[in-house]
Amino acid sequence: MPDPNVLNINGRRYALIAEAAPHKSLAAMLRARRLEAGLSGQEAAGLLGVSRTHLHAIEQGAASNLTYKTIIAFMNVYGIAPQEFFKFAPTGATGDDRN
């Protein structure tokens, strides 16, 4: 099962480090934000431009690759500024590839 605290975006891995969120993972935070917004899975999926099944996989931490478009949609639809909750730190499978 993919690590819910690591995103694979266009072939690059990003570790998600929660700074202000009380949630244990990005997946848990996204699900909580959907519920706080009063959206069903079907409604949120439509607003995000993803299938209900894909949204469920994301919220369960089972989606291993999110596109920039999907990440931006989550930020816009749920009103989340990336810097509010996460510090994105690029990581590589064979070591740190920050540059």
pLDDT score recorded for residue 5 = 64
Local confidence band at 56 (pLDDT 50, 70, 90 cut-offs): very high
pLDDT score recorded for residue 67 = 84
Q: Which two tokens stand for residue 26?
A: 């990005």
Domain ranges of the chain: 6-91
> Would the pTM count as exceeding 0.85?
no
pLDDT score recorded for residue 14 = 66
Rounded to whole angstroms, the Cα distance separating 77 from 89 reads 24
Q: What is the mean pLDDT of residues 56-67?
A: 84
pLDDT score recorded for residue 17 = 52
User: Helix (H, G, I), strand (E, B), or coil: what is residue 8?
Assistant: strand
pLDDT score recorded for residue 99 = 40
- Residue 63's CB: how many other CB atoms inside 10 A? 20
Query: What CATH number does the domain located at 6-91 have?
Result: 1.10.260.40
Q: Which two tokens stand for residue 18?
A: 């929660």
